[in-house]
Structure formats: structure tokens, C-alpha cells
Structure 1
Amino acid sequence: MYTAKGKLDTNALLKQYSPLVRRLAHQMMARLPANVELDDLIQVGMIGLADAMTRFDITQGVQFETFATQRIRGAMLDELRGGDWLSRGTRRQQRELEDALHKAEQRHGRVPTESEIAAVMGVSLAEYQDMLGRARGTQLVYLEDIGGGEDGDDYLDRHVADPANNPVAQLADHRMRQALIEAIKVLPEREAYVMSMYYEHDMNLKEIAAVLKVTESRVCQLHSQAIARLRVRLREH
């Protein structure tokens, strides 16, 4: 789309390609921590789209959508690499919680209760639940996971980039999804409900609390504990 002067019509292109930005953002969100905000990714993606408009050169023989997709995805990846959603102290505490959960599971030979996990950690149930509440924003993928691996690959490049061009990534993604499905199946009932309502039905904490007839802080605790259980199980994958 061009103006009468032969320049790209910025407003028209922003309107036409904003759905592309949303689609790319949703694709990334499927592989990112729960506390990454979709609106933030979309906002950064729109900046990437605007940047693509200023840099696009039709003489290079590349379609604008192809060029824009690269710039949008690149802007999102840069933002994700530059941010940190969880403090080091909270990450360390989350690791300790996961280790305790794993030990309690090994000790009892089944999915452990909150009291049993608290006992392994040597804290009261109230203290343990307070730790869960502070871990709000806990995630399936930590920034350490996102950092470069032994082979020099970057997690975001391997798992957020378009899997259609990478059969190995497709297979790994399928295995991870299957492992996640199996792990969710063995979650305690209320935690499974929270995960389903939060991720499948896109309900917020207040709405979930109303359904379960508990406080929002309790929903946060259940969510954090569910994520910890899933991370422990997914370590094998």
C-alpha cells in the first residue's frame, strides 16, 4: 500500500498487519511463562512492525509480510531476552520448593499434600502457603532455561521461532506437550481446575476464586504449587 507520493501508507499497513502481530504474539505465548503479558508482547510487536515499515526496501525482492514477520518476531525476542520476570531470590525459593516436593513424592510414593511438602522443608503449613503466595508469577520456563545451551543454541530461538521450519523442534514440542498433558492429569483435582480455568478458559484469578469459593491469594497458592509439580515431572523431559 502506497500513498500518492509513492511511499508506504503507514496507517493502512498498521491496520492491515496488526492481526499478524497478534498472531505472532499468541504463538510465542504458548511457549512462554504465564506471567508474560500478551499485551506487552503485542505492543513491542507493533513497534517492530513500525520499524519494518521504515526499513523495508521493495527493490530487495522480499514481500513486506515476510520482512515484517522477521522484524516483529525479532523485536519480541529482544524484549524477552532483556527482561526478567522473577527475582533471583524468588527463583531460588521456587527451586527449593520443587526439591522438597520431589523428596516428599519419593518418600510417600504418591502426589504429596501441602502438609507433607511443608514437613520436608521444615516449615509450618502456613509458612509453606505463604511461600507459595510469594511465588506468584512462577513459571514453567526460567530465564536460566532461556539462556544458551551447551550447543550454543538459544531457548527462545529453538522454541519460540517458527517450528514449521524445524522438524526437530516440532518433535520436541510434541513430546513436551504430551509430557505436560500427562503431568496435568495427575495433579490434585483443585490444582488441575485452576490450570484449566487459567490457561484453557483464560479466566483471571478473581473469576477462578469465585468458582472455587476461595480467596484470590489461595488461587495463587494453588497455581504456584501446580507449576512446581509440573516442573518436577517435566525435568525428565
Structure 2
Amino acid sequence: MQMEQTDHEEMTRDLEAYRKNGSQELRNKLVLHYLPIVRSAAVQLRTMAGSLLEQEDLTDQGVLALMECLDRYDPGKGARFETYAFVRVRGAMIDYIRSQDWVPHRARNFQKKVDEAFSILSHEKMGEPDVKDVAGYLDMPVEKVENHIKYMNHASVLSFEAALQDMTAIFAKGELEAGDMDGKPEESLFYREMMEMLTAAIDGLGEKERLVITLYYYEELKYSEIAEVMGIGQSRVCQIHTKAIRKLKSSLEDYMRG
């Protein structure tokens, strides 16, 4: 453990020295040291990428992001480098995956109409409209609106959900107790830091949003099952989930900005 602590302190000093002198030798040393973050993220996201990408493609994107992190990291903003790099590397990989899964312009235009309908009906009803209300307002079949919402939900959360999903699940299940990551003190530290941030972010969600997050990530229920538990439609569950994830993303971005 003492050796690991010494190693961490050495990397911290090297990182500070690199920020000052931009040494190529130090950069290579730091990249090699933090490469496990890249490899871990690539393995976790490979199934998300499906057949679109090879793990090597994701790793390449992650290494580029890691090098950018070395140049842009500012310890004065509060986040540990490991935490900062973890989020940035995963984010770069997810953005790359998204670039292979293009959302048609027609779908984005339709989403603007759906969002506008929800906004107008919310003011008229002084509450949350359901999909039937929106479909009626747009004079379209309910099934078409429901299918569109499901499609856009996947497209809109893909850029950040994977980065939050495993951390949210770890937080909810309490899998990272003291000693769970023996031999990996740095990983344990940045996961705990992320969990603390997510704890505060989840506490700030609305009651229904917290319930959906709990049932989806902790209980691992499907949208249809959550709909039965909550007594609402699947599309409504989908909307609540998307809204909750967006709030968590905003909290994450605020945290990373310090």
C-alpha cells in the first residue's frame, strides 16, 4: 500500500511538472500510467458500440482524449485528474460511437414539434401532458409519437448515459465498499468521488425522477415494468428517465467545471 501511495504521489508530481514544461518524456510516462482508464472504458463500451467499431478504435479515441486531458487539466477546479480523465475519455468514446449512429435531420425536426407540443400543453393543463394529448395536438397516431419518443430517447442519452450508468448503478448497489477495490486505490478514490457527486445530484431530482432512476438502475426493471409499478405509460417513463439523466449530466458538467 505504501508503494502504491508513493507511486500516486510520483504521478501527481509528474503531472504538475508536465503542466509547467510540456516534456514529451513526461507525457509518455503519464499516458502509460493512466492507460488502464482508457482500456477499461473501451471494454465497457464495446458492447454499446455493437458491430460498428472494434475495441482498438475506441482505445485510439481514448488515448487521444487522455493526452488532451493532460494538457487541459486544471487542479484548481477541484476534480482529481483520475476523475477528470475518466469522464473525458468515456465521453470522447461515446461521442465517437454517436458519430457512427447518425440521427436523421427529419427526426430532429419532428422532435422540435414534440417538445413544443409538450410545452404548450403543460401550460394549458397546468401539469404534465401524456402522449395521447401530444398526439392529439399534433393530429398524429399515438403509436407514431410513442415510437419517436423511444427512438429519440436512445439517441439523446447515448452521449452521456453510458458514462453515468455504471457509476449510478455502483452508487445504488453500494458495490464499492471499503476494500472492494484492494490493489486499485486510485480507481477506488475516483469512483468514490464520482459517487459522492452523484449522490448529491440524485438527491436533487424530483420524486418521480428518483424513483425511475432507482427502478431502472438498481432494480434493473424495464420501462414496461416501471410503468406498471408507477401506474403510468411506458412513454411517460421514458420521458421522466430522459429528464432525470439530463439533470445528472448537468450536475456532472457543473462538477467538472469546479
What band does the TM-score fall into relative to the shorter chain? 0.3 to 0.5
- Higher-helix-fraction structure: 2
What is the TM-score of this pair, normalised by structure 2? 0.39
What is the TM-score of this pair, normalised by structure 1? 0.42
